[in-house]
Amino acid sequence: MSAYRLQQLKGHIVPGNKITAMAGSPSPLTTHVLNTAMGVPCSNMALSLYRQDPSTNAWSLITTGTTNVDGRCPGLITKQTFTSGVYRMHFETAQYWESIGETCFYPYVEIAFTINDPGQKYHVPLLLSSFSYSTYRGS
């Protein structure tokens, strides 16, 4: 399911949550998507953040967004809602490459990660080309 469609659904299901950049304190979870083939940030890439319910293992959509011109997406989550748990970030990579006239080996990229200490800041970048990608816990 594309992130755009998810964004539509979220609007029906979760009233009142801001999807785009929030004023106030910055998100404790950030990302940065870079097009390593062309040496530019991946701008206008759709992404979404999910958290897994520990008792049912079901995933809930927390937010959707689109990277800005610098490949970043501020306001992913607030400090208040950032609890310990397993999260998953979904990046619409093929959609991005198609929008610049290219194909991508990866229809999407999902990075699942565990947050044990929500008091810390977590930076989860994605370095991406048409046939490779990498990620790391950054700062």
Partner 1 sequence: MTSADSSPLTTHVLNTGDGVPAAKMDVSLHRLESKLMIWNMLSVGTTNEDGRCSGLVSREAFSPGMYKLRFETGSYWERMGQNSFYPYVEVVFTITETEQRFHLPLLMSRFSYSTYRGS
- Interface residues toward partner 1, by CB under 8 A: 1, 86, 94, 105-114, 116, 127, 131-137
Provide long-range contacts, Cβ within 8 A and 24+ apart, for 10-13. Answer: 10/61, 10/63, 10/64
Give the tokens for residue 75. 């306001």
Give 119 or 136: the residue with its C-beta nearer to partner 1.
Answer: 136
Q: Count how many Cα atoms sit within 13 Å of the Cα of residue 26 in the half-sphere of its side chain.
A: 11
Give 106 or 118: the residue with its C-beta nearer to partner 1.
Answer: 106
Give 71 or 91: the residue with its C-beta nearer to partner 1.
Answer: 91
Is 12 within any annotated ligand binding site? no
Binding residues for substrate: 32, 72, 136
